[in-house]
């Protein structure tokens, strides 16, 4: 990662610190979230928005959504692959039969990942009234 020294307006720095504190209050550790990681995430989002701005001040919401979905689905797929590899390594280290136990442990881990996504969604988004 590149390291840059930049200056922030006091208001911007306070808002980033507030975001960090909110994540820590929601259970994140300092290793999970810190000032640098939050700023990096915000800059990434800002670059995506800037990239999808059309001519003038028009914002290409469809292109932004397409790019966002592509990145999220790619991240989820990568996490699923890593989870499968770690599950296989775990079974091999324990000396268990990889062929019989792998499918069960991967299924359990993917179910846990989906449950965590649902929990995060309910925490960060309002449910729509039907």
On whether both 115 and 66 belong to a single domain, the answer is yes
Tell me what pLDDT residue 30 has.
83
Does residue 130 belong to any structural domain of this protein? no
The Cα 40–Cα 74 span in angstroms is 19
Does residue 22 belong to any structural domain of this protein? yes
On whether both 69 and 45 belong to a single domain, the answer is no
pLDDT tens digits in sequence order for the chain, 130 residues long = 778 888 889 999 999 999 989 888 888 888 888 999 899 889 988 888 887 776 566 777 888 888 888 888 888 888 888 888 888 888 888 887 777 778 888 888 888 888 888 887 777 666 565 5
On whether both 47 and 70 belong to a single domain, the answer is no
What pTM does this model have? 0.50
On whether both 71 and 119 belong to a single domain, the answer is yes
On whether both 64 and 114 belong to a single domain, the answer is yes
Domain that holds residue 44: 9-51
Q: How many domains is the chain partitioned into structurally?
A: 2
């Amino acid at each position: 990662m590149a390291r840059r020294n930049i200056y922030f307006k006091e208001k911007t720095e306070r808002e980033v610190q507030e975001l960090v504190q909110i994540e820590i209050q929601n259970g994140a550790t300092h290793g999970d979230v810190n000032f640098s990681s939050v700023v990096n995430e915000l800059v990434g989002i800002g670059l995506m928005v800037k990239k999808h701005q059309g001519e003038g001040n028009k914002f290409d919401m469809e292109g932004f959504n397409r790019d966002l979905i592509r990145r999220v689905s790619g991240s989820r797929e990568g996490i699923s692959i890593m989870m499968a590899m770690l599950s296989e390594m775990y079974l091999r280290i324990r000396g268990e039969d990889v062929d019989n136990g792998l499918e069960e442990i991967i299924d359990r881990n993917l179910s846990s990942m989906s449950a965590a996504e649902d929990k995060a969604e309910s925490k960060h988004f309002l449910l729509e009234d039907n």
